[in-house]
């Protein structure tokens, strides 16, 4: 009897998995056939290929209702977006759980798999603090938009985006960046201010009501994926139904950044790569080694002289290029004050890399810096108080002690844009040395607006091959300011704008009037004061 028990258990497990897999296979095949046959019979006189819409000139008179995943995005997988939610909002442990559950998500079918990912990513998360949908996901969703379908949507009148994803994941992307009029997603259930990981099933009735109330154009055209159709009741109200085939999506080009209706200037999150299943596995396997590598890089930078640490850091995969002026070392031999270096701001390591490039110690002034970053910094760092008079006195005093580096943007910007330069630095010296700084990462961003700033240098150094470049530009003189700017404040603003333009031209970046406060209001919901 004891020998038969293990055999009975093995048989039970075998039949359980056999029935489970067989049931899932039948449901997938049956569901696909049922949908295809129902779709074909119900709309056999109204079904058209989506490519026909590219040549239509009357779309401005129609309301376009489109399936976001099946009719707009080039990729058919939504796993990367849930991986972003899990990692950025939930942490490393939640991301590991989602990665381990991915095989079951694939076996469970589209609807059940979606529910599993929602449960893992959102269960126990505070609803008011969820900002990934606005700060992180738009960048990755924009990079996945098909250029051909976006061109079609631009020709339409009113536009309604319908998604199977939770509304908090897609609403900001569609409304703020693609200028979609109505967004309909799945609502997440909230209990005591926390998500419970469950979604409401109904989502398309709201869009239909909006169109029928006269907020949209009278004639409605639906754009849907072949295996991911919109609600049948909604489709029955449409004059035409256009189907996007998988073969069409594979031939689409991705929407270029220059075609974005609203430029993507600010975005947050630690992940720099698209976390597909393969990329996710590679990232999770790399993190233990990356932590060791980052500690080695920090130790080398702190303990060794510049001429020794720089080649050793290059040996660890950290690429650094510097472009200096021929007479840089003789600029201030006759001056009792130090040189003022004005940099654009890419990461907290900007002054450190400038120090590496010049092969001398600098003093760095910052608007906000974590205590941990101050402790491990190999150069002197001084915090500004944001009181203009106090900060001016402090900077003048520091210039008496040596060379000074300042980042007048006040915060970092990842995209090729320069934020408005605070004009305070332009009142400190007659000769200002602009410095063009750029960086490139492949896995982790070394900046954050809503996370722990003390981990910024660590995340940057966790990249396999981070790249940093420092380029010293020709000095800008206060005496060269236009004579028409007689007022001190006017001259200061004019000089700050000149320096900003000088650096922007050198990097190929676009200058803006946006400030630190604008960035933090968008990404973190605060004014950025620390």
pLDDT in tens, 395-439: 999 999 889 999 999 899 999 999 999 988 888 888 899 999 999
| Top-confidence range, 31-45, 263-277, 309-323 | 263-277
Quote the CA–CA distance of 416 and 497 in Å, as a whole number. 17
CATH code for the domain defined by 47-259: 3.40.50
pLDDT digits (tens, 9 = 90+) for 518-528: 999 988 877 66
pLDDT digits (tens, 9 = 90+) for 59-76: 888 888 899 998 899 998
- Checking if the pLDDT of 333 tops 50, the result is no
- Burial class of 182 by CB neighbour count within 10 A (0 to 12, 13 to 18, 19+): buried
Residues in CB range of 365: below 8 A, 6 or more apart: 381, 382, 383, 384, 391, 394, 395, 398, 404, 405, 406
Stronger pLDDT, 37 or 70, i.e. the higher one: 70
- Checking if the pLDDT of 376 tops 80, the result is no
Residue 501 in tokens: 């333009």
pLDDT given for residue 330 in this prediction: 46
Instruction: Provide the pLDDT confidence category of residue 95 given band limits of 50, 70 and 90.
Output: very high
pLDDT digits (tens, 9 = 90+) for 19-28: 545 555 554 4
For the entire predicted model, the pTM comes to 0.86
Question: What percentage of residues in the chain have a pLDDT greater than 70?
Answer: 80
Report, as an integer, the average pLDDT of 297-301: 90
Spacing of C-alpha 405 from chain mean position: 28
* Angle between helical axes of 110-122 and 92-108 (0-180°, round to 10): 170
Contacts 24+ apart (CB under 8 A), 306-309: 306/355, 306/356, 306/359, 307/359, 309/356
pLDDT given for residue 213 in this prediction: 60
> Which phi and psi (to 5°) does residue 380 adopt?
-70, 130
Quote the CA–CA distance of 159 and 146 in Å, as a whole number. 16
Q: Provide DSSP, 295-353.
A: HHHHHHHHHS-HHHHHHHHHHTT-EEEEE--TTGGGTTTT-SSPPEEEE--SSTTHHHH
**Per-domain boundaries in the chain:** 47-259, 306-524
pLDDT given for residue 178 in this prediction: 94
pLDDT digits (tens, 9 = 90+) for 178-224: 999 888 889 999 999 999 999 986 655 555 566 656 554 557 888 88
pLDDT given for residue 312 in this prediction: 92
User: Which of 160-174, 178-192, 376-390 bottoms out in mean pLDDT, i.e. has the lowest?
Assistant: 376-390
Q: How many beta carbons lie within 10 A of that of residue 330, not counting itself?
A: 9
pLDDT given for residue 486 in this prediction: 52
pLDDT given for residue 217 in this prediction: 52
Instruction: Provide the pLDDT confidence category of residue 387 given band limits of 50, 70 and 90.
Output: confident
Report, as an integer, the average pLDDT of 275-284: 96
Q: How many beta carbons lie within 10 A of that of residue 103, not counting itself?
A: 10
- Checking if the pLDDT of 315 tops 90, the result is yes
pLDDT given for residue 33 in this prediction: 37
* Domain covering 306-524, topology: Glycerol-3-phosphate (1)-acyltransferase (3.40.1130)
pLDDT given for residue 51 in this prediction: 66
Report, as an integer, the average pLDDT of 301-319: 89
Return the closest-CA partner of residue 168 out of 122, 124, 215, 111.
Answer: 122
Residue 399 in tokens: 């210039």
The three-state secondary structure class of 506 is helix
User: Which of 46-55, 184-193, 330-339, 380-389 bottoms out in mean pLDDT, i.e. has the lowest?
Assistant: 330-339
pLDDT given for residue 225 in this prediction: 83
Report, as an integer, the average pLDDT of 486-500: 81
CA distances from 362 to 57, 377, 434, 461 (A): 61, 11, 15, 21
Judge whether 420 and 500 are in contact, CB under 8 Å: yes
Radius of gyration from C-alpha coordinates of the chain:
28
Judge whether 444 and 462 are in contact, CB under 8 Å: yes
Return the closest-CA partner of residue 470 out of 317, 311, 321.
Answer: 321
Quote the CA–CA distance of 436 and 457 in Å, as a whole number. 20
Report, as an integer, the average pLDDT of 282-291: 96
pLDDT given for residue 513 in this prediction: 94
Q: Provide DSSP, 234-274.
A: HHTT-SEEEEE-HHHHHHPPBPPGGG-SS-------SB-S-
Return the closest-CA partner of residue 203 out of 176, 182, 172.
Answer: 182
Judge whether 503 and 510 are in contact, CB under 8 Å: no
pLDDT given for residue 354 in this prediction: 93
Report, as an integer, the average pLDDT of 13-38: 46
Kindly give the pairing relationship between strand 240-244 and strand 219-225.
Answer: parallel
Judge whether 385 and 302 are in contact, CB under 8 Å: no
Judge whether 239 and 58 are in contact, CB under 8 Å: no
Return the closest-CA partner of residue 70 out of 226, 195, 291, 219.
Answer: 226
Report, as an integer, the average pLDDT of 355-383: 81
| Top-confidence range, 207-221, 351-365, 455-469 | 455-469
pLDDT given for residue 215 in this prediction: 53
Quote the CA–CA distance of 180 and 169 in Å, as a whole number. 15
């Amino acid at each position: 009897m004891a020998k038969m028990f293990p055999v009975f258990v093995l048989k039970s497990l075998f039949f359980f998995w056999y029935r489970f897999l067989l049931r899932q296979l039948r449901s997938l095949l049956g569901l696909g056939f049922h949908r295809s046959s129902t779709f074909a019979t119900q709309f056999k006189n109204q079904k058209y290929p989506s490519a026909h819409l590219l040549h239509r000139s009357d779309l401005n008179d129609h309301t376009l209702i489109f399936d976001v995943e099946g009719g707009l995005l080039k990729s058919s997988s939504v796993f990367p977006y849930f991986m972003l939610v899990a990692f950025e909002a939930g942490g490393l442990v939640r991301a590991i759980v989602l990665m381990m559950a991915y095989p079951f998500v694939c076996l469970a079918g589209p609807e059940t798999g979606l529910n599993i990912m929602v449960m893992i990513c959102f269960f126990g998360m505070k609803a008011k603090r969820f900002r990934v949908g606005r700060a992180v996901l738009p960048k990755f969703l924009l990079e996945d938009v098909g250029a051909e379908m976006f061109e079609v949507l631009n020709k339409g009148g009113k536009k309604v985006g319908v998604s199977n994803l939770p509304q908090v994941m897609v609403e900001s992307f569609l409304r703020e960046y693609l200028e979609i009029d109505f967004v309909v997603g799945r609502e997440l259930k909230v209990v005591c201010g926390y998500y419970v990981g469950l979604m409401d099933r109904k989502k398309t009735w709201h869009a239909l009501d909006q169109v029928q109330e006269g907020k949209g154009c009278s004639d409605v055209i639906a754009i849907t994926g072949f295996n991911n159709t919109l609600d049948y009741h909604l489709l029955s109200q449409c004059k035409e139904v256009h189907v996007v085939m998988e073969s069409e999506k594979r031939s689409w080009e991705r929407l270029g950044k220059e075609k974005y209706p609203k430029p993507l200037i600010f975005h947050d999150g630690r992940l720099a790569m698209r976390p597909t299943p393969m990329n996710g596995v590679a990232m999770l396997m790399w993190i233990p080694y990356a932590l060791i590598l980052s500690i080695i890089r920090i130790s080398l930078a702190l303990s060794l002289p510049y001429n020794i640490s720089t080649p050793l850091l290059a040996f660890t995969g950290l690429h650094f290029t510097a472009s200096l002026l021929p007479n840089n070392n003789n600029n201030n031999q006759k001056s009792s004050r130090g040189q003022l270096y004005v940099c654009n701001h890419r990461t907290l390591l900007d002054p450190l890399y400038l120090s590496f490039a010049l092969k001398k110690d600098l003093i760095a002034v910052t608007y906000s810096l974590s205590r941990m970053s101050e402790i491990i910094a190999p150069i002197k760092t001084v915090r500004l108080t944001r009181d203009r008079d106090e900060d001016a006195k402090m900077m003048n005093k520091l210039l008496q002690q040596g060379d000074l580096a300042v980042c007048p943007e006040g915060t970092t910007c990842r995209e090729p844009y320069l934020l408005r330069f605070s004009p305070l630095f332009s009142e400190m010296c007659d000769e200002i040395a602009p410095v063009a700084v750029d960086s490139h990462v492949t896995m982790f961003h070394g900046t954050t607006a809503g996370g722990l700033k003390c981990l910024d240098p660590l995340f940057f150094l966790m990249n396999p091959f981070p790249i940093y470049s420092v380029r010293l530009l020709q000095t800008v003189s206060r005496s060269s300011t236009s004579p028409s700017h007689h007022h001190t404040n006017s001259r200061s603003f004019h000089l700050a704008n000149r320096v900003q333009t000088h650096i922007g031209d050198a990097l190929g970046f676009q200058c803006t009037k946006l400030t630190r406060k604008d960035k933090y209001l968008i990404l973190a919901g605060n004014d950025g004061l620390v």
